Chains A and B, each alone.
Chain A
Amino acid sequence: QQPVQSPQAVILREGEDAVINCSSSKALYSVHWYRQKHGEAPVFLMILLKGGEQKGHEKISASFNEKKQQSSLYLTASQLSYSGTYFCGTGCRETSGSRLTFGEGTQLTVNP
């Protein structure tokens, strides 16, 4: 089942912070976060695994709450380059988290 992302869209000024949430009705084994700019391929940001979390970038981090079956992506001191659509992809235990179901995406716009 497709994970639910919120908010659907967010507009920031440069330097502001944002949080993007990803919730699933199924038990999560892994959560992937990707950013896609218009007309480009999705780019991997980080992976969070059941029982732990990985920090992919200096100002972009994420958490994984197994009990709530959700993950949150934190963007601090946003830069213009952060603009794009953020997707979470969730994986289940049966496929060792490799087969992903993606959320609808959160469109982030950072203005000067």
Chain B
Amino acid sequence: EADIYQTPRYLVIGTGKKITLECSQTMGHDKMYWYQQDPGMELHLIHYSYGVNSTEKGDLSSESTVSRIRTEHFPLTLESARPSHTSQYLCASSQTGTGQPQHFGDGTRLSIL
């Protein structure tokens, strides 16, 4: 059973606010990922990390930033939210090694007014 948690589950907030989406996993996985997914659409990788102090940008350009100070924690921050940031954000983690599945959190549905 995957143990990866995202908070908040839903967030409705005004333009210009600073937002941090939390993601934590208790499985000791080194690899963690952030995806952006619009309703009914595919997942786009926006950030990933292969371990502490390691972060890389994904395939989809994003104005968000991430940090990885602890293995279990991979927060995503938007310094100034805009309506174009409205989407669902999914966090995932996987073990190191070839052919490891990714375990997803329940996601954060973000709506910027």
Interface of A toward B, CB cutoff 8 Å? 2, 30, 32, 34, 40-44, 47, 49, 54, 85, 87, 89, 96-105, 107
Query: Is A41 a contact of B105 with CB atoms below 8 Å?
Result: yes
Docked Cα-Cα span, A56 to B106, in Å, equals: 22
A60 CB to nearest chain B CB (Å): 14
The total of chain B residues at the interface (CB under 8 A) is: 23
Residues of the B chain whose Cβ atoms lie less than 8 Å from the Cβ of A34: 102, 104
B110 within 8 A of A: no
* Distance A99 CA – B57 CA, assembled complex (angstroms): 11
Contact count A vs B, C-beta below 8 Å: 56
- CB pair A101 B104 closer than 8 Å: no
In the assembled complex, the Cα of A81 lies from the Cα of B31 at a distance in Å of 30
Q: Is the CB of B43 within 8 A of A98?
A: no
- Given A42-B90, A98-B31, A98-B94, A30 contacting B42 (CB threshold 8 A): no
A32 and B102 contacting across the interface, CB-CB below 8 Å: yes
